[in-house]
Chain A
Amino acid sequence: MKLSRKASGGCSWELDPREASLFLRLLRSYPVVGSPPTLPGSGHTADSEGAEALLRQSFAQQSEESRQELRAWLEGAWPAKPTKKNVTLDLSEKRLEWLLHVFNDIRVGHWKKLGSPDHLDLPLKGWSLDQLGSWRDMQASGFFETAILTALNSN
């Protein structure tokens, strides 16, 4: 994987076939979980329930908008046919920012699916295939997220 800034602005992101396949699979899985986190310290008052209901509504709307945008972007940016060659994406800074948040959403979604554990260095014994898949995709999303953060901080 090679993610680098271009002199003309924006970034070029080259993925080998395996990375490209993972990248595409993760993005196609979006959104992983539609429900938002609970508000910390809010307890269970009528006000907090109202606030959380609004938050859920806002998250659902945002997820749907991002899902549609993601689908449209993949149709335009991704090679139409499967390829065994490296895939190179030309991305504007804004698009890279957006992908950062999408991958973070996917990562947080899988973390929630795993029960929002306090520690991420989890023992994997006794897990179902579904849980193992969530753990794997959480790590994979983090891999792409870290690459984007490194690129965005490289100027």
Chain B
Amino acid sequence: MPDTHGLAVAPEETQEKDPQAKSELDPGYLVICWNDPVNFMEYVTHVFQEIFGWPKQKAQFHMLQVHREGRSVLTRETQERAEHYVHQLHRYRLHATMERDRP
């Protein structure tokens, strides 16, 4: 992107936004973690704390939800952030997906 040092920049005209760009900025994507039989409960709790910066109590709540109900919605984010979190969870070998939240 070229810089604008010393130049006056005219305000841009408002135009209809690109629907794709809107979708990427819309915080309507759920990050879901799924149960698996191999990862230790303490490990899952630890990973949630590490990735999301949650206190232990909140991490344990979601870990138990995954364990008991098969899945837990961890957060609702923009598409880009949701992809980031899913990728992080995969790095730690947890099963995670993202899906569009229903309006």
Contact present for B97 and A149 (CB under 8 Å): no
B46 interface neighbour in A40, A58, A116, A149, Cβ under 8 Å: A149
A33 to chain B, nearest CB (A): 11
Would you call B87 an interface residue if the criterion is a C-beta within 8 Å of the partner chain's C-beta atoms? yes
Q: B90 is contacted by which of A36, A117, A118 (Cβ under 8 Å)?
A: A36
In the complex, the number of residue pairs spanning A and B with C-beta atoms less than 8 Å apart equals: 53
Residues of B close to A58: CB separation below 8 A: 87, 90-91
CA distance A59 to B95 in the complex (A): 13
Instruction: Tell me, in angstroms, the Cα distance from A62 to B88 when the chains sit together.
Output: 11
- The reply on A101 being an interface residue by CB < 8 A is yes
* Chain B binding surface SS class: mixed
Question: Which of A36, A42, A108 has the most chain B CB atoms closer than 10 A to its own CB?
Answer: A108
A55 touches B38 (CB 8 A): no
**A142–B37 contact, CB under 8 A?**
no
- Picked from B38, B50, B93, B95, the residue with its CB within 8 Å of the CB of A39 is B95
Distance in Å: Cβ of A17 to nearest Cβ of chain B: 27
- Which residue of A111, A116, A149 contacts B43 across the interface (Cβ within 8 Å)? A149
Residues on A with C-beta less than 8 A from B42 are: 146, 149, 153
Bound form: Cα–Cα A120–B36 in Å: 11
Complex contacts, B87 vs chain A, CB 8 Å? 58
Q: Are B97 and A41 in contact (CB under 8 A)?
A: yes
Q: List chain A positions with a Cβ less than 8 A from chain B.
A: 36-37, 39-42, 55, 58-59, 62, 97, 100-101, 104-105, 107-108, 111, 116-120, 142, 145-146, 149, 152-153
23 A-B pairs with CB atoms under 8 Å apart are A39-B95, A40-B34, A41-B34, A41-B97, A58-B87, A58-B90, A59-B90, A62-B91, A97-B50, A101-B92, A104-B39, A104-B40, A104-B92, A104-B93, A105-B93, A111-B38, A120-B37, A120-B38, A142-B40, A145-B43, A146-B40, A146-B42, A149-B46
